Amino acid sequence: MTVKTQRAYNFNAGPSALPISVLEKAQAELIDFRGTGMSVMELSHRSSTYEEVHNQAINSLKELLSIPDQYEVLFLQGGASLQFSMIPMNFLKPGKKAGYVMTGSWSEKAFAEAKLFGDVYQAASAKDGNYRNIPTVSELKFHPEDAYLHLTSNNTIYGTQWADFPDTGDVPLVADMSSDILSRPIDVSKFALIYAGAQKNLGPSGVTVVIIRKDFLEQANTNIPTMLKYSTHAKNNSLYNTPPTFGIYMLGEVLNWVREFGGLSAIAEQNENKANLIYHTIETSNGFYIGHAAPDSHSLMNITFNLKSKELEKKFLEQAKQEGFVGVNGHRSIGGCRVSAYNAVPFETCKAFSEFMGVFQKKNS
């Protein structure tokens, strides 16, 4: 007997919602992948069947993001957190400095790791304003001889996002795009290196995507462990060791879903519509809901807010859970409420939550 499962209203910040069609395809192929009699998880990563999956995922990402030929696409492990160390290990050489733009907890973590390897400084910071905004381009203070400038494109905990990226000239621009990659079109050519954990918009946890310009790669240090060299993975098509094969397979299927959805322009339009529903409810609540991020820094991925009292906030979160909304609690470090409306979160889910917010306000005003 088949039991129909009620899908949750999933606002988890990561791992996050995946497209239902991708999950259904993975389910159908789980036991016998393309007539092999094996799951994709059981295939050798050296087999031609898996290699096709691997290369198709790389090519799909290049196509969707319009990645120029002078870039390598790598599939690594260790999450964005390992990249916090790998980047300075590879590119922060003696006598050089690197600037970090501080926009939240993840940029703080990246900065702290980089300090272990070399000379780093804060090129700008929004900390004094409790990370309510993204620094303006005029606030960025970096040096033409810097090894690189690092920023975090979207801040999951505080709900802020870069609307546009700075032109850094000859200074290599490095970006952690873990929480908004593939959510909108971007100009990859502005960046020397982009990295992103997959578990927000790209697929399940366990895969980290790195997009790195070849001439920047050639400047990397060589006296570091083999597995921590980007060149190791570039030379071996990310197959130097056993990669997270199932995660890469799922990533490839998510990329196919994005293509079928209409590409990044269509995804971006829906993401704006979803976020605007929630922001409109907050902004027209006459102070019942209090948004954290400044309007010019609003994230389309993570919408953060509080209620006018802690007691009311607790009641709101309890009732949201009862109504089937999952992951609405703010990050444990700051509390409050957070709606993470990543690509695979349907418009209808955001609409249902907006309506719930309206009903809750009427009952509790």
Cα 147 from Cα 97, distance rounded (Å): 6
Per DSSP, helices labelled H in 66-149 are 79-91, 105-114
**Cβ–Cβ < 8 Å for 150, 110:** yes
Residues annotated catalytic, as ranges? 106, 176, 200
User: In this structure, what is the dihedral angle of CA atoms 78, 79, 81, 85, given to the nearest 10 degrees?
Assistant: 50
Question: Strand runs (DSSP E) across the chain, as ranges?
Answer: 9-10, 71-76, 97-102, 119-125, 148-152, 154-155, 160-161, 173-176, 193-197, 208-213, 289-291, 302-307, 325-326, 337-340
Look at residue 212 and give its three-state secondary structure.
Answer: strand
Contacts of 84 (CB under 8 A, 6+ apart): 109, 110, 112, 113, 114
306 forms beta bridges with 290
**Cβ–Cβ < 8 Å for 349, 20:** no
**Cβ–Cβ < 8 Å for 278, 338:** no
CA end-to-end span of the chain: 46
Per DSSP, helices labelled H in 30-78 are 48-65
**Cβ–Cβ < 8 Å for 189, 69:** no
Residue 121 corresponds to which amino acid? Y
**Cβ–Cβ < 8 Å for 173, 148:** yes
Q: Which residue has the tokens 């309890």?
A: 318
Tokens of 277: 């529903």
